[in-house]
Structure 1
Amino acid sequence: MATAHPPILFNNARLVDPATGRDGHGSLLVEGAVIKDLDWGAVAGVPEGAEIVDCGGHVLCPGLIDMRAFVGEPGAEHRETLKTASEAAAAGGVTTIVCMPDTNPIIDDPAIVEFVQRRARETAIVNVCPAAALTKGLAGKEMTEFGLLQQAGAIAFTDGARSVTNAQIMRRALTYARDLDALILHHTEDPDLVADGVMNAGERASRLGLAGVPREAEVIMLERDLRLLRLTGGRYHAAMISTADSVDLVERAKDAGLGVTCGVSINHLTLNEFDIGDYRTFFKLAPPLRHEDDRTAMIEALARGTIDVVVSDHNPQDVETKRLPFADAADGAIGLETLLSAGLRLVHNEQVRLPALLMAMTSRPADLLGLPQGRLARGAPADLILLDPDLAYTLDARTLKSRSKNSPFDEARLEGRVLMTYVAGRCVHRYVE
């Protein structure tokens, strides 16, 4: 069967396969939508007429898989659409987005899952996988129809930025998910403890005169969930942890053999509460940016493999919701386009090795979601990025692909540019100076 485009040979590349940890010089051949061959040297038997891409010694690795992105469509297209989110993703090296159900209407019905998939096929240039709501209307009172939503294409179940406070509902959700081998993604913040808090509780919050969010808001919810997981079995993923105490809980649960994994946002790996400065609302997040000790604990946990996944927590907000007093501004920051560049700070600082960082952004989320992407292997989807990890630039919000511009890295100096992004063997982004 003829392919829609000629084979592509990537020559002179630094191949990094996060799934195996292998990192070395080599070549890779793409035919159609899949990786046909790769060699830690030179690919033999290149088809006639193949397009030759000289990688110039730069990193060739799988495209990133972002397990937590809020996209406005449907219902808030003024903030972001599937099209603009996918363009931002491609520019940042993200080839698969898991979009959260916090839309209007909420993704709690099979018809809405199918709508998102159809719109993504029509307008998006990267893969879009909808996560369905855990409870109807994200209200935390009644479970959604997991089986029907899964059949429609929901890749996981979550209430997005909301926590399920009813322990009986969470117990039932974990039980049903276990029987369907479905993955529960949960936002671990007790809303009653969060209350009117807007930043990390502590001396910094007191100095700024802002209400604080105690670390216990996260820890108590996470500990409850882990006890329920022990009761029910199944697979549970703490969407974003941000404290050293949470790391300890996850490590103990893993040692006990529970089916628990966890993620961290790129913001909590690279920023802390002092970055808020004089009430800079682009740094207002949920969970809030923590103390430097907590940030350091997150980095160490990622380096030793306790933290499984790094996410962008892409949450576009327009000027009307961000240009407000800090306490009144909406939570959230965009991050698809800067996920990898910000993460490379840890590599350049020799805190995390490049294959380990990429594993948390590629093969590990692929394994959790049951996706074939995220690895350099014969027959794997040709979702690839060519990365210059040393190319420095200063982020200019005017050049961002995202419709909203609320980036915490605005005007920051970053190192690492995605030169090319391929999805199913097709180039969807090419960096031009």
Structure 2
Amino acid sequence: MNIFIRSARVVDRASLQNGQLVDILVRNGLIASFTTTNPDLRPETGAVVIEGGNLHVSAGWVDARAAANDPGYEHREALADLARVAAAGGFTDVALLPNTQPVVDAKDTLGYLRRTADGFPTVRLHPVAAITKGAKGDDFTDMIDLHRAGAVAFSDGDHPLQHPDLLVKTLQYLRPFGGLLINRPEDTRLTRYGQMHEGIQSTRQGLKGLPALAEVMTVARDLRLLAYVLETEPAAPDAAPMLHFTCLSAAESVALIREAKAQGLPVSCDVAAHQLAYTDEALHTFDSNLKVNPPFRGAADVAALWAGLADGTIDAVVSDHHPHEEETKNVEFDVAEFGMLGAETVFALIQTHNKDRLALADLIDRLTTGPRRVLRLPPVLLAEGQPAALTIFNPTASWTYTRTLSPAKNSPLLGQTLVGNVVGTVLGGHYTVQQ
């Protein structure tokens, strides 16, 4: 399929066409030409034409954190569903959490994911393998074999690493082959039975809190352990991250990582888009679709997350996409599962709540260059002769999120009008239009 994108502004700091209005021709899966926009230019016969008002184009977006419910939980969302949802959200690449059934802790499960993913030409799915067997935090998996089999990184996913010895040994084990450890920072001994952020709002609602301290203590601990591992052999100044913190939510966590980066530690982090849009006050309605972990915190925390995103402390924005069946969400708040849909609305949620706190070029960087570097994915170059992996979007368009392509419906955004619309994605010779 040949694809012609008419009059789109390039948003890619690494591209010679950055900031320019161009016409782009994709032929046989490769970028055939960039030309200055010409309204009289006729596309090739049979080419799919993409045009519209205020079009922008960037390298394909990367979601570094989404739940894979297949195998084991296909009733929530099969991989084919996730591929459609991710493409609708503008993503050409998605990293999959290992918390399937069975857990991605052996080559056979990893192989199943990779073989299944090969059948989706519009999205590339990248499995993250578990650090411990069953993601239970006890015995190590064979991470070298999993790396050779195609694991993009290592994490116990929704189960934060609790034992410091596990974290140290994992860092030591991964270092020789440049592996990445991803941890969601939470000391679960401080958050047991918690339902929402610990604060005035949780007291008002009579719900046990999840203190920010549980995250901050873990970030501080893990950074110190990373420094300990590097004491005998420091990392190079431009080394890729060895340790990645996912789903930050607390202001002090951002400050700690900012300081660690200044000291040269090979560390990175991300934030879920919904953490930038809500505070704990949004839970006054007891809407279980807003029940996530880490929880929405206070206004000062949200401001710190925006600041960390703007100054580059936070490397990536993720969806933290977690589909759930209605029986686990349409229940009392304290028994509802944590998690919400997110892959379709990452860009729109940020644009809607941005309020000029983050430049568009910086946001696109946190959806492209940042997560690619963290996950060691090859760069996407917007240049003639390069393979096409593009996201086309309108950053100012308003639209109403009336339906989701996921079988799950646990999004608090359904029915809301948002700003920032994904028009479609191009991956190779395949064009996926936003539905």
Normalising by the residue count of structure 2, what TM-score does the alignment of the two structures yield?
0.92
1:278 CA displacement? 1.8
Q: Deviations over 1:410-429 (max 9, x none)?
A: 22220122122212231122
**Aligned counterpart for 1:25 among listed residues 1, 21, 26:** 21
Partner of 1:226: 223
Query: 1:16 aligns to what?
Result: 11
SS in 1 for 2:334: coil
What is the alpha-carbon distance in structure 2 between the residues aligned to residue 210 and residue 331 of structure 1? 14
Counterpart selection for 1:185 from 170, 182, 187: 182
- Whether the 8 Å CA contact 2:205–2:284 is kept in 1: the answer is no
Deviation at 1:279, TM superposition (A): 0.8
Displaced runs of 4 or more, over 4 A: 18-21, 39-42, 45-50
- Say whether 1:242 aligns with 2:249: yes
Task: Name the CA shift for 1:280/1:39 in 2 (closer, same or farther; >3 Å).
Answer: same
**2-structure distance, mates of 1:259, 1:46:** 49
Counterpart-to-counterpart distance in 1, 2:205 and 2:342: 26
Partner of 2:433: 429
What's the CA shift string for 1:317-374, capped at 9, x where partnerless? Answer: 1111111211111000010111111121244x21111111111111111122222355
Matched residues in 2 for 1:242 and 1:307: separation?
11
Counterpart among 399, 414, 422 of residue 418 in structure 1? 422
**Structure-1 separation of matches of 2:282 and 2:142:** 42
Separation in structure 2 between the aligned mates of residue 25 and residue 346 of structure 1, nearest angstrom:
26
> Is residue 64 of structure 2 the alignment partner of residue 67 of structure 1?
yes
Q: 1:52 to 1:278 in 2, by over 3 A?
A: closer
1:95 has 2:101 as partner: no
Report whether the alignment pairs 1:315 with 2:309. Answer: no
1:16-415 to structure 2, matched below 5 A, reads 16-19=11-14, 22-39=18-35, 49=45, 51=47, 53=49, 55-56=51-52, 57-123=54-120, 125-233=122-230, 235-347=242-354, 349-396=355-402, 399-415=403-419
Summarize the Cα distance change of 1:365–1:430 in structure 2 as closer, same or farther, 3 Å threshold: same
- Alpha carbons of 1:33 and 1:216: their partners in 2 closer, same or farther (altered >3 Å)? same
Q: Percent identity?
A: 34
Q: Tell me, which stretches of 5 or more residues in structure 1 are unaligned?
A: none
**Cα 1:222–1:380 shift into 2, 3 Å:** farther
Structure 1, 251-260 or 9-18: larger mean CA deviation: 9-18
AA partner of residue 421 (structure 1): T
Task: Tell me the alpha carbon deviations over residues 369-390 of structure 1, each in whole angstroms, 9 at most, x when there is no partner.
Answer: 2223555234443121221222
Q: How many residues align?
A: 422
Deviation, structure 1 residue 123:
5.0
Per-residue Cα deviation, 1:160-215 (whole angstroms, up to 9, x for no partner): 01111111111010111111101111110111011111100010000000000111
CA contact (8 A) 1:386 1:421 kept: yes
